[in-house]
Amino acid sequence: MVLIYCGIDWAERAHDVALVDDTGALVAKRHITDDAAGYQLLLELLAEHGDTEETPIPVAIETSRGLLVAVLRTGKRQVFAINPMAAARYRDRHSVSRKKSDPGDALVLANILRTDMHAHRPLPDDSDLGRAIAVLARAQQDSLWNRQQLANQLRSLLREYYPSALQAFATWANGLCRPEARELLKVAPTSSRAAKLTRPQLQAALKRAGRKRGIEAEADRLHDVFRAEWAHQPPLIEDALGKQMLALLIQLEVACTATDNLAEAVEEAFPQHPDAEILLSFPGLGIQLAARILAEIGDDHTRFADARGLKAYAGSSPVTRASGKKSSITRRWVKNDRLNHVGYLWAFASLRASAGANAHYRRRREHGDWHAWAFASLRASAGANAHYRRRREHGDWHAAAQRNLFNRMIGQLYHCIQHPKLFDENTAFPAELTAAA
C-alpha cells in the first residue's frame, strides 16, 4: 500500500497543495481558493488519492487556526501545524539558494511528514467545549492586556497636566480602570474643572459609577484632593489635553466593558467542563486562571506522554546544555508564553492558599530576599507554604522560586487529570507540611 502525505502552504486568499508518496515523488498538486469551493476541491483531491474515513491522509500546514484547519480536523485525520521557522530549515535541505515559492513550500511540508512525522506533534484532539473555552480565555487575557495598556497611556497623559486625578485615584485598586475613576474624569476632564466640583456633585458621580458604601467620606476625600494646590498648564493647553484625555477614556471604557463581558462568558462556560472541578481544587486557581490553563493544555489527555512533557511545554522545567566538559542549566526560552505567564500568577496566588507552596518558595528564597513584598503573603497559609520555603533555602531569587513552584504544581496537575482526583494538600506537600509544623 502506497502511503500519501499532504502539505498545504497557507495564505490569506488561496492555498497551494502538494501530495507526495512514500518515495518522495510528487503525485499531485493543486491551487485552491480560501472558500467553501476550495475546501471541497481539496477534500475531493485527497479522496482521489486514497483518503478515507478509516485511513485519512495526514496533512501538514503552517497554522493551527482558521476554517481550513477546522475542515481538515473532521474525523480521524491528523493535522500537523508546522512552525514556519522549522519549515524554513527543511527548505534548506533541498536547495542552498534559499529560493522560495508557495508550491515549493507545500512540497516541503509534505516531505516533512514523509521523513519526520514521528518528530512532530499533531494538533490535539480537544473537545468542542474545551476549544470554545480556549477562545474565550485567550480573548479575555488579550482584552485584559489591552485594557492595561490603555490605562498606562491614560496615566502617562494625566501626569502631564492633571496630577490631582492620579493622587485622588491612587488609593483605589485598579486605579484608572475603576468605574468611579472613569466617571469622575468624564465630569471633570481637567484639573481646573475638578477643583470646582462640590461635594454633592462628587457624591452623585460616585453613585452613577455604582458605588454603594462610604460615598460621603470618599466625596470629602476627593474634594480635599482636588481643592489642594497643584501646578497647572496654561488654560488653552489644559483644555486641549482634556479633550485628548476624553478620547482616550472612550477607548478605555470600551476595553473595560469587553474585559468584563469576556470574563462573564468564561465564568459561564468553564464550570461546564469535566476537568473544571480538578483545576479549581488547586490552591491559587480561580475560574479565570484555571480557564487559561485549560486553554493552553487542552482536554486531550493523551497530548503529553508524561508530566515532563507538560513541564517543558509550560517552560517551567530547566534546560541542561552540555558540550565537552562544560555544562549549564538555564531556564527555557522556547515555551508556551501564555501558559508560562499564567504559571507565575498561579504560583504567587498559591502562597496565600497553601502552606506547602509557601514553605517551598521561602526555602528557595532564603539566601536572596531582595523581594520583601513577597514575604507578606507567606503568613496566610500552610500547605504550599512549606514547598515554597524549601526552594528559598537553595538561594533562588523570587522569579526562580516561583518558576520552581509552578514546575512542581503543574506536575501535580498532570497527575490529578490523568487519574481523576482532586488536589490534596497532604499528598502534594508532605515533607513541607511536616517541616512547617
Write out pLDDT tens, residues 47-77. 999 889 889 999 999 999 889 999 999 888 9
Most distant pair of Cα atoms in the chain: their distance:
86
Q: Is the pLDDT score of 19 beyond 50?
A: yes
Question: Averaged over 291-316, what is the pLDDT?
Answer: 93
Domain-located, residue 277: no
pTM of the full structure: 0.84
Residue 281 lies in a domain: no
Residue 20, domain member (yes or no): yes
At 374 the pLDDT is 34
Give the pLDDT score at 375.
39
Residues contacting 413, CB < 8 A, separation 6+: 278, 279, 282, 293
- Residue 365 is predicted with a pLDDT of 65
Q: Do 250 and 368 reside in the same domain of the chain?
A: no
- pLDDT value of residue 389: 63
Segment 268-286 shows an average pLDDT of 95
d(C-alpha 254, C-alpha 274), whole Å: 33
Residue with grid cell 492555498, as numbered in its chain? 15
Q: 200 and 305 share a domain?
A: no
Determine the pLDDT at residue 385: 62
Mean pLDDT of the chain: 88
Evaluate whether residue 128 is within a structural domain.
no
More confident residue, 246 or 12: 246
What b-and-e string marks burial along 63-79, b requiring 16 or more CB atoms within 10 Å of the CB?
eeeeebbebbbeeebbb
Would 373 be classed as within a structural domain? yes
Q: Which residue has the higher pLDDT, 356 or 313?
A: 313
SS (H, E, C) the chain: CCCEEEEEECCCCEEEEEEEECCCCEEEEEEEECCHHHHHHHHHHHHHCCCCCCCCCCEEECCCCCHHHHHHCCCCCCEEECCHHHHHHHHCCCCCCCCCCHHHHHHHHHHHHHHHHHHCCCCCCCCHHHHHHHHHHHHHHHHHHHHHHHHHHHHHHHHHHCHHHHHHHCCCCCHHHCHHHHHHHHHCCCHHHHHCCCHHHHHHHHHHCCCCCCHHHHHHHHHHHHHCCCCCCCHHHHHHHHHHHHHHHHHHHHHHHHHHHHHHHHHHHHHHCCCHHHHHCCCCCCHHHHHHHHHHHCCCCCCCCCHHHHHHHHCCCCEEEEECCEEEEECCCCCCHHHHHHHHHHHHHHHHHCHHHHHHHHHHHCCCCCCHHHHHHHHCCCCHHHHHHHHHHCCCCHHHHHHHHHHHHHHHHHHHHHCCCCCCHHHHCHHHHHHHC
Question: What residues form DSSP beta bridges with 60?
Answer: 7, 80
Domain extent, residue 71, equals: 4-119
pLDDT, greater one: 364 or 114:
114
Shared-domain flag, residues 141 and 89? no
Find, among 53, 63, 48, 46, the residue nearest to 12 by Cα: 63
Same domain, 307 and 420: yes
| CATH code (residue 89) | 3.30.420.40
The answer to whether 316 and 343 have CB atoms below 8 angstroms apart is yes
Shared-domain flag, residues 202 and 95: no
- According to the model, what pLDDT value does residue 367 have? 44
Residue 406 and residue 310 share a domain: yes
- For residue 107, what is its C-alpha cell? 512540497
* Of 16 and 381, the one with more pLDDT: 16
Please indicate, yes or no, whether residues 104 and 161 belong to a single structural domain of this protein: no
Number of domains into which the chain is organized: 3
225 and 342 co-located in one domain = no
Say whether both 142 and 51 belong to one domain.
Answer: no
Q: Are residues 84 and 206 in the same domain?
A: no
Examine the pLDDT at 202 and tell me if it is beyond 50.
Answer: yes
Q: Is 127 within a domain?
A: no
Q: What is the pLDDT of residue 168?
A: 94
Same domain, 296 and 237: no
Question: Which carries the bigger pLDDT value, residue 386 or residue 315?
Answer: 315
Looking at residue 43, what is its pLDDT? 93
pLDDT of 376 > 60? The answer is no
State residue 322's pLDDT score: 83
Strands 4-9 and 14-21: antiparallel
* Residues 96 and 150 placed together within one structural domain of the fold: no
Length of the chain: 437
Alpha-carbon span 222 to 224, nearest angstrom:
5
Residue 388: the pLDDT is: 57
In the chain, the percentage of residues whose pLDDT exceeds 70 is 89
